[in-house]
Structure formats: structure tokens, C-alpha cells
Amino acid sequence: KHILIVPGDGIGQEVTAVGKKVLDKIAVKFGHTFTYDEALIGHVAIEATGNPLPDESLEKMRKSDAVLFGAVGHPKYDNDPSAKVRPEQGLLKMRKELGLYANLRPIKLFDELLEASSIKPEILKGADILFFRELTGDIYFGEKGRKNNGDTAYDIAEYSRYEVERIARKAFDAARTRRKKLCSVDKANVIETSRLWREVVQKVALEYPDVEVEHQFVDATAMLLIKDPRRFDVVVTANLFGDILTDEASQIAGSMGMLASASIGDGTGVYEPIHGSAHDITGMGVANPLASILSAALLLDISFNMKAESETVIKAVENVLKEGFRTRDIANAQTPADKILGTAAMG
Amino acid sequence: KHILIVPGDGIGQEVTAVGKKVLDKIAVKFGHTFTYDEALIGHVAIEATGNPLPDESLEKMRKSDAVLFGAVGHPKYDNDPSAKVRPEQGLLKMRKELGLYANLRPIKLFDELLEASSIKPEILKGADILFFRELTGDIYFGEKGRKNNGDTAYDIAEYSRYEVERIARKAFDAARTRRKKLCSVDKANVIETSRLWREVVQKVALEYPDVEVEHQFVDATAMLLIKDPRRFDVVVTANLFGDILTDEASQIAGSMGMLASASIGDGTGVYEPIHGSAHDITGMGVANPLASILSAALLLDISFNMKAESETVIKAVENVLKEGFRTRDIANAQTPADKILGTAAMG
Ligand SMILES: CC(C)[C@H](C(=O)O)[C@@H](O)C(=O)O
Ligand SMILES: CC(C)[C@H](C(=O)O)[C@@H](O)C(=O)O
């Protein structure tokens, strides 16, 4: 199996190095041969080549069996709204070119972290949500620009029936293997793409009579996720709503630093933490590598169908947490100082 | 002063009746004369006239000194994505026609409700956020429709410099009277309207050197609101992001049933709870009227400049909570049964 390592920007570099080490260990333990290559994306790619996703990187992605990804982003561009070339363009192009239309974000709290969240433990205990975020459509990829001498900006959100259908099917299929509940999130009382979304999900639902379906508005969902996270099993939603809701839901898992994701679709799968480049802590060696490690576990499971290997990684994370080890983001006032580890030590 | 009562749909009817009673009491107590009229909007207006906002209602709104509003919406339309006439169209038309471009949503936890939230009290204590949601632009009001024989849906999001400027100024002005911190929320790493938004806020910020400004992405904000609500003072954001984030932030105040809002702009101001029509509890007499009552307090303060009157209402709410009275949504396992009140009794 050939794995491409794409660390990208900020703490992406630090945590992906740890994720790779875990893959290495699994190969040894289970007698696999994993070969690796590296590729550039984001700000580091712009600095080196002028291009946030050089053709060479894309070629390497296409040829690999799976990609372990870090993050993209840099404050330099965030503070300059008129920048023409941006790290995020590399990420979006990768998603589009590889046809990664389904982004799976499992939100599950390790029992050991019950106290790490800002939400009350009795509200959280047992929460277990699997998000399916559509990843190659919506306002992210529609035409955008300026008119009236630059005084008006516009973005077009778009969805076709086909795009909604394929992500809905993936979500329903997953619901069948879980608690058989699916919540589709939209804003159908205002937005036309949401009305198409709801129409299509209602239709696909007919093929899954064993799955209980509800439709929620995105605003109500943002509230319910915090008020009663256990009411959700599988959640399927559009690209922008998924971006917002999954970041919010990270608080259910105690910290963004715990959340892995899988982007899958037509070809090579891409596995990445959802935390982003976090330049405020870059280079300090304190970033939580568990999201990258858990992304490696998803990679083993989904792209390589190596269930035991994936389980071994998850168990290892659990054990380390049980032994009381924490990175800064998941530590609390009760954590003894000698149990608070940096990125490499946690790995 | 002439006040128009527009209860709309679902629990809007029940809670607005209570809000009006409170205005009545204030008139008596302070020696004012308030006259009232009623108007239709939403599903009830469609049933009566076929139109979610009849011209007559709009005329009455224009002529009144302030509007106390309930909610619009009905499950009938939610489950029928192809419905051509919808209650929400009435609400959106009202906002546009009255030029209500600034929607103020204060999020403040009454100390008595510290335990009512799903968020830990130690995270919440002291949280006090004032949202400025832009209310007449964005994807809500851009062109929307279908193409490719109905197989593709689209919505256009749009903002002009002028629209961003005027809401930004309102938010900066408010920050000056508070803790002098402003957080502007966008998705400038992906969306063009957000890049214009950020550009304009950066420019307006130059006129307010005494206000500390930060720019956050909407996904990060959805996370930070729960992780650390006290870091926010004034938050300003676009229509759609504001819709999502303020519903989420309702959990900071313990319940949606506590949150009031003021929509202001070019003419008559409209005051409404943010909770919506809640058909699941309509007619049961259990809806929390405090959001409508607190909306009446905002009406007195903002449209009539009656500060003492407004304060009196807020104090009354505080006192009732101190005495232990709760509606169902803000009660907990420790609340004695005889302290749990219905809508009218709480009023
Ligand atoms: C970096 C950004 C473009 C990206 C997104 O919005 O999709 C990120 O927030 C994510 O969730 O992967
Ligand atoms: C009912 C709906 C159209 C409305 C909105 O999205 O603005 C509501 O959610 C609100 O926040 O006032």
C-alpha cells in the first residue's frame, strides 16, 4: 500500500508526522508493507511553487492508495481579503479533482474526556454522531465575484439532484449499520438549494423504510446539538452547513484536537483532522496529534479495509487516555503536570 | 404611542398575548397611553387571504410606532419543498419592506438560570453577548431558482459595501457602550461576499480605534461560542451565519424561550422572540412567554426610549425567576412541581 503524506500548513506538519509514525508501527505489528511519499499543498506550496496545489501533488494523490492530510491556512491571507492566491484553494481543488464528495466526521466522546468538554457530562454521556458533509458542491464551488465596480460581491450556491442523491445514499447506508436514524439538515424554509435537498432526501428515504428520517433546519440543529446531542445518530447536510455544524459538534468530543475525518468519493480517499492549521500554537510542540492518529485509523478502516489494524489504533488512543495522559487542549485543572504531554510524546 | 400586535403562527399567538399584557401594565404604571391594533402574517394570513403578508398588514406596520411580533411557520410547508406560497415569505417581505437591516439579539444569562443550560455553569457565568445579525441581504434575498429541468437548484448570496457598512457601524457604536470588543464573523477564506464583508469591517474599524476588533471564521465561531462564550462582547455577522449562530447561542441563555430580539433600520422597529412557531407545543399553554416579554422590554427601550419602563420589565422577569417560577423549558429536576407555570401564569 502506498500512502501519500500531505502535511500542509501550521500544526498540520507536526501532527501528520505523528499520524505517519502510527501507520509505520501498524505496518510492523501486522506485517504490512506501507510505502510513503510526501506532497505540498496550501501556504507551503504557494511559497515553494506559487501554486496552492501543484500538478505534481495532484498526480501523486491520484496514484496513491490513500492520503494522510494535515491542514491548510495562514493568517497572512486571512487578513488580506483581496489576496488572489490562497492556501484554501489548494484544499478545495484537491476535493474537487479527487471527487471527494462525502466527508465523514464521526463525533464520539471518549469516556475519559467526559470532563474535558464545556458541556455537562450528563448531557454528553453516550453521544455518538456520524456526520456526512457534502464536500464538492454548494456555495464553495459556485461562481463568485464582484460587480458594480467591486462594490457588490456575490456567491452562487448550487446543488443538482445527482449530487444530493449520492451523499444521501452514503448516509442512509451508514445509518443502517448504526442506530438506523438519519437527520437531514437544511434551510428549506428560505433556500432553494435546500428545498431540492429535502425533496431528494425524502425520495431516497423511500428506499430505506427501516431508517427513521427527520428533517431539521440548520438553525434549530445548531441549538439541538448542544441541548441534546444524544438525539442524533447519522446527520447529513450540505457543504457549508456541515462546515459550521461539525466544528460546533467538536465540543461534544471535548476538543477539536480529537476529531478525525474521512473524505471519500470516486477515487483515492483523504484522511484529515478537522482542526485546521492553528498558527497560534504552531511550532510550540503542544498540538494534539490524536485527531491525526484517529484519521490514520479511519484510513486503515475505510481505504484499506483493515478493521483489526484500525481498532488497534483506536484502542491505543483509549488506553493512553485511560492512563491519564493529556495534551494541553484536553487537560483540566485536575490533570497532574507530569501527565500533560506535547505532540511527539503523546504520539 | 401606537403598537401593532402581529402574533403570526403557532405559539406566536400565545406568547404575544402575554407580551401585550405586559405593555398594558407598563402603560398604567407609568401613565402612558398605548393604543393597539392587530395584523396578520404567515400561515394564518395565507389561510385568511392567500397572502403571507397582506398589504393591509404592511400598511398597519408602517403606520405604527412599533411592532410586537410573534413567529411564522407551519409544518405543512416544511414537509412540502415544492410549496409556492410559504409563511416565511411574509416574514422576509416584512423585513425587506420595513428596511429592518439590523437584528439585535442580546444573549445574557439570568443568574437564576445558570443550571438550566446544557453548558457548564462555570463556563457560562458572566457571559453577555450582543449579536448584530444583518437582516435584509445575503442568500435570503438573492435570486434563487431551478435550471436543467428543475434538476439543479441555485441561490445567489449578495452583499454590497453599503449594506455591510451600515450594520458594521451599528455594531461598533454598540461596542462602544459595552466592553469595547467586536468580533466580525465571516467565511472569508472561501466566500466572496465574506471577503467584501471583511474588507468593509476592516475599513469601518479605522473610525473606532477604541474598539478592539477580531475577525473569526463562522466554523471556528460555532465552536468558540460553546467552548468559551465569555470571550465575546459584540458579534456582527451576515444574515445566514447570524441565523445559525444566534440559535446556537440560545443555549448560553439556558433556553430559546428566553431570547428576545429587535429588528431596526429605516422605519418602524419590530420586536420578536427568536424561538419560532414551535408547533409541537402549540395550544398546550406551556410556551415560555419571557422572550416575548423581554422583546416588549426592548421595544420600550429602543423604539420609545423608555429606559425606566424597559428596566422595570427586565427586573420583573428577574424577580419571578428569583422566586423560583419556571416554565417547562427552563425547569429542571430540582424545580418543585408547583413552581412550574404555564404561559399565562408566567405572564
Ligand atoms: C479551510 C477551510 C476551507 C475548510 C472548509 O471550510 O471546508 C475547513 O474549515 C474544513 O472544514 O475542512
Ligand atoms: C423563520 C425563518 C425564515 C427565520 C430566519 O431564518 O430568519 C427565523 O429562523 C429567524 O431567525 O428569524
Q: What DSSP designation does A341 have?
A: -
Specify the residue with its C-alpha closest to ligand 2, atom 1: B88
Which has the closest alpha carbon to A194: B219, B71, B192, B83?
Answer: B83
What is residue B255's predicted lDDT score, i.e. its pLDDT? 86
On whether both B47 and B83 belong to a single domain, the answer is: yes
Q: Among A225, A253, A281, give the residue marking a domain's end.
A: A253
Evaluate if residue A332 carries a pLDDT over 90.
Answer: no
What is residue A79's predicted lDDT score, i.e. its pLDDT? 82
Structural domain contains residue A47: yes
On whether both B292 and B203 belong to a single domain, the answer is: no
Q: What is the pLDDT of residues B185-214, one digit of tens each?
A: 999 999 999 999 999 999 999 999 999 999
CA distance B227 to B230: 9
Evaluate if residue A22 carries a pLDDT over 90.
Answer: yes
What is residue A159's predicted lDDT score, i.e. its pLDDT? 98
Structural domain contains residue A283: yes
Residue B230 identity (one-letter amino acid): R
Q: What is the pLDDT of residues A125-175, one digit of tens each?
A: 999 999 999 999 999 999 999 999 999 999 999 999 999 999 999 999 999
Q: Among B189, B220, B253, give the residue marking a domain's end.
A: B253
Q: Among B253, B277, B308, give the residue marking a domain's end.
A: B253
Q: What is the pLDDT of residues A171-222, one digit of tens each?
A: 999 999 999 999 999 999 999 999 999 999 999 999 999 999 999 999 999 9
Whether residue A336 contacts residue A324, with contact meaning beta carbons closer than 8 Å, is answered with yes
Higher pLDDT, A308 or B333: A308
Q: What DSSP designation does A281 have?
A: S
CA distance A311 to A325: 20
What is residue A290's predicted lDDT score, i.e. its pLDDT? 97
Evaluate if residue A31 carries a pLDDT over 90.
Answer: yes
Evaluate if residue A88 carries a pLDDT over 90.
Answer: yes
Contact between B73 and A189 using a beta-carbon 8 Å cutoff: yes
Evaluate if residue A81 carries a pLDDT over 90.
Answer: no
CA distances from B298 to A64, A344, B309 (A): 60, 53, 10
- Write out chain B's pLDDT in tens, 347 residues: 999 999 999 999 999 999 999 999 999 999 999 999 999 999 999 999 999 999 999 999 999 999 999 999 999 888 887 888 999 999 999 999 999 999 999 998 999 898 889 999 999 999 999 999 999 999 999 999 999 999 999 999 999 999 999 999 999 999 999 999 999 999 999 999 999 999 999 999 999 999 999 999 999 999 999 999 999 999 999 999 999 999 999 999 988 899 999 999 989 999 999 999 999 999 999 999 999 999 999 999 999 999 999 999 999 999 999 999 999 999 988 899 999 999 999 99
Structural domain contains residue A197: yes
User: What pTM was estimated for this model as a whole?
Assistant: 0.96
On whether both A236 and A144 belong to a single domain, the answer is: yes
Is the C-beta atom of A189 inside 6 A of ligand 2? Answer: yes
Active-site pick, B9, B187, B208, B301: B187
Specify the residue with its C-alpha closest to ligand 2, atom 12: B274
Q: What DSSP designation does A175 have?
A: H
What is residue A91's predicted lDDT score, i.e. its pLDDT? 96
The cell 504531554 sits on which residue?
A: A341
Domain count, chain A: 2
Contact between B243 and A218 using a beta-carbon 8 Å cutoff: yes
Please tell me whether residue A163 adopts helix, strand or coil conformation. Answer: helix
Which has the closest alpha carbon to A152: B135, B93, B142?
Answer: B142
| Order of strands across the sheet that contains A128-134 | A35-38, A2-8, A66-71, A269-273, A260-264, A102-108, A128-134, A234-237, A181-186, A212-217
Structural domain contains residue A38: yes
Structural domain contains residue B199: yes
On whether both B265 and B317 belong to a single domain, the answer is: yes
Active-site pick, B101, B140, B159, B208: B140
On whether both A80 and A124 belong to a single domain, the answer is: no
The cell 500538478 sits on which residue?
A: A55
On whether both B17 and B57 belong to a single domain, the answer is: yes
Structural domain contains residue B91: yes
Tell me, what CATH number does A266's domain have? 3.40.718.10
On whether both A61 and A186 belong to a single domain, the answer is: no
Which has the closest alpha carbon to B153: A219, A133, A200, A136?
Answer: A200
What is residue A213's predicted lDDT score, i.e. its pLDDT? 98
On whether both A124 and A239 belong to a single domain, the answer is: yes
What is residue A152's predicted lDDT score, i.e. its pLDDT? 98
Contact between B190 and A145 using a beta-carbon 8 Å cutoff: no
| Residue B184, H or E segment | strand B181-186
Of B154, B193, B244, the CB nearest to A192: B154
What is residue B256's predicted lDDT score, i.e. its pLDDT? 87
Structural domain contains residue A54: yes
On whether both B121 and B249 belong to a single domain, the answer is: yes
Structural domain contains residue B111: no
* Other beta carbons less than 10 A from residue B189's beta carbon: 24
Beta strands in chain A (DSSP E): 2-8, 35-38, 66-71, 102-108, 128-134, 144-147, 152-160, 181-186, 212-217, 234-237, 260-264, 269-273
Active-site pick, A20, A60, A170, A187: A187
On whether both B225 and B332 belong to a single domain, the answer is: no
Residue A335 cell numbers, joined: 490533570
Residue B95 C-alpha, separation from nearest chain A C-alpha, in angstroms: 14
What is residue B322's predicted lDDT score, i.e. its pLDDT? 95
Residue B298, domain extent: 1-106+259-347
Choose, out of A136, A215, A248, the residue to mutate when testing the contact with B (most B CBs < 10 Å).
Answer: A248
Whether residue A174 contacts residue A132, with contact meaning beta carbons closer than 8 Å, is answered with yes
On whether both A330 and A294 belong to a single domain, the answer is: yes
Of A148, A193, A202, the CB nearest to B154: A193
On whether both A139 and A66 belong to a single domain, the answer is: no
- For residues A234, A239, A243, A244, the Cα torsion angle rounded to the nearest 10 degrees is -90
Contact between A81 and B195 using a beta-carbon 8 Å cutoff: yes
Of all atoms in ligand 1, which is nearest to the CA of residue B219?
9
Is the C-beta atom of B273 inside 6 A of ligand 2? Answer: no
Q: What is the mean pLDDT of residues A297-312?
A: 97
Q: What is the mean pLDDT of residues A12-23?
A: 98
The confidence band for A310, taking pLDDT boundaries of 50, 70 and 90, is very high
CA distance B121 to B285: 29
Our answer to whether residue B173 is catalytic in this structure is no
